Amino acid sequence: METPKIFEGGKYFDERGCLIFNNNFNASEIKRIYCIENKDTNFIRGWTGHKIEQRWFSAIHGSFVIKLIKIDNWEKPLKSSYILKFNIDSDNLNVLHVPSGYASAIQAKKENSKLLIMADYSVGEIEDDFRFPIDYFENL
């Protein structure tokens, strides 16, 4: 079973300026991309999960806290599930891989932050969205 992990990016500076890159991330599985911007830094977008689909997250402006839960039962998940927490920001183009089987909650840490989301299925290709109330899990 895969676990979430971060593919680390980096920065290169020379007389021309700055290059932000991620040579560790292989985008060959990506079928679609989109961006989200939370309405403010207090809002938490979630919990949204996918049994089949994988996701990759990268902050393209600002920073985010992304919380993940491995779902044990899609009909009635354990409310006290362990929550993984990842911080990503736009400084180095890190990419967080979220394998299938996880639900996410996303919070911007800076105003006007933008998050790039990449998925391995096209819109309408599968029915795989599971939503839980933001206060469903006890350890948020």
In this predicted structure, what is the pLDDT of residue 1? 66
Domain ranges of the chain: 5-131
Q: What is the pLDDT of residue 69?
A: 97
Contacts of residue 121, defined as CB under 8 A and 6 or more positions apart, other chains included, come to 31, 32, 52, 53, 128
Q: What is the pLDDT of residue 94?
A: 97
CATH number of 5-131: 2.60.120.10
Residues 66-123 have pLDDT tens digits of 999 999 999 999 999 999 999 999 999 999 999 999 999 999 999 999 999 999 999 9
Q: For residue 139, is pLDDT > 80?
A: no
> Mapping DSSP to helix (H, G, I), strand (E, B) and coil, where does residue 67 land?
strand
DSSP string, 1-49: ----EEE--EEEEETTEEEEE-SS---TT--EEEEE--SSTT-EEEEEE
Q: How confident is residue 138, by pLDDT bands cut at 50, 70 and 90?
A: confident
Q: Does the structure show a pLDDT above 80 at 140? A: no
pLDDT of residue 24: 95
Residue 94: which H helix or E strand, with range? none
- Between 2 and 71, the more confident residue is 71
